[in-house]
A = this chain, B = another copy of it.
């Protein structure tokens, strides 16, 4: 039999990894709840028609589909119904036999929209939810890119107030502070990008400009300028864009400069107004020094954003990592499922990347790795019975403890404790038992002493 393996792009999480990941999830959960966001979980599988056509052609190809095998065969009329529904969504005839009707969740946004539409009558709007679950994409695996990975989203739907944007900035600010990851939170408005296209005299080229600008960090201004040219932007347009990109200064200074440059663009002035208001709300909520920085070159790939957009990058000089979070305002997401006019705004945390950054910066709390705090050596016979009684006393005191289950050779038991990284080993031998005490050995310092049970408990709890 060949050695078993796991599918490419998937991962086993070892005990130490699970504990660290759990720490991130728990930290975020506490903050979301503090801000009045409510948890939601949706199924791993969605109907294929729910997902198809929502992520672009490339996205459709990357959806993991589930075979119908093992399920009871559909009735003919149900098949016809399914085909009709399919054609409505995909606007192509459904010619192949039905081999798949379900697919794995591709992101948390579409299932959220689907949930809101299905439960619109029960929900109180604005509805604020957070969701932390895995998603699956049949992408080519590479370093830091997995076929199963975790998303963590917080969204508010049903309110256009910019207080929502400001609160999401606060969530970013306090979450990364709590996780001890220094960050820069970039903010922009899609409306400023629209205004840029107007400035160039090419309002229909907004997406081209957005796509090119999005690469500024990667390929620099010369690269972007070349791409803009290739995408048909005039030299004068490129010059206008350069002028805007070169604006530097504080957030206020930048916004003042932009309102000068964009004074004739309605979209531009609206975008500037949005940013000013959001930053003012944010300042009221979070008066301390903050990491939020206006960045006109910020574009964000997804084209459903319509207003303020944000992106988080790690600000530590030693960390080379792309965005570890992002989001923005979108209009009419639920319109995809027939519920029109519900504006939303949301942010996302890149769990896997945040994990990697925290590992690199060594900011996970030390005690996380520990697990078991104390192991009792098993000397067999009456000493085993005594050890079991001690074990219960330790656990009753809230100390994570275990006994080596067999009266194996002392060396074997010590090797186990060492490999597990257990710091305290308790030795309940004949002398200890008859005296009602226990010897405690610290594996790190090598120190060993015989103490009362109460003293051992106090030592382990301290």
Contacts and interface: CB of A to CB of B under 8 A. Distances in A.
Interface of A: 1-7, 10-15, 17-19, 21-22, 33-36, 38-47, 50, 61-67, 69-72, 85, 88, 99-102, 104, 114-115, 117-119, 124-126, 128-129, 134, 136, 138, 140, 147-148, 156, 159-161, 163-164, 167, 281, 284-287, 337-338, 371-372, 375, 378, 384-385, 388-389, 391-392, 395, 398-403, 405-406, 416, 419-420
Nearest to A281: B388
B46 A19 contact: no
B388 A284 contact: yes
A3 to B, nearest CB: 7
Q: What is the interface of chain A mostly: helix, strand, loop, or mixed?
A: mixed
Given A4-B117, A39-B15, A159-B405, A45 B400 contact: no
B70 A148 contact: no
Nearest to A117: B4
Contacts of A388: 163, 281, 284-285
A13 B40 CA distance: 6
Contacts of A41: 12-13, 17-18, 21
Copies of this protein, total: 2
Contacts of A117: 3-4
Contacts of A395: 34-35
B70 A389 contact: no
Given A7-B45, A392-B285, A402-B128, A1 B148 contact: no
Given A39-B22, A134-B44, A115 B337 contact: no
A154 B286 CA distance: 44
A45 B136 CA distance: 10
A383 B25 CA distance: 35
A71 B9 CA distance: 12
A7 B71 CA distance: 12
Nearest to A47: B7
B372 A85 contact: no
Contact of A1 (B11, B88, B399, B419): B88
B148 A43 contact: yes
A137 to B, nearest CB: 8
Contacts of A405: 126, 156, 159, 161, 163-164, 167
A114 B164 CA distance: 46
- 8 A-B pairs with least C-beta separation: A36-B402, A10-B43, A70-B138, A15-B38, A161-B405, A124-B419, A18-B39, A13-B41
A45 B10 contact: yes
Contacts of A129: 15
Nearest to A118: B4
A387 to B, nearest CB: 9
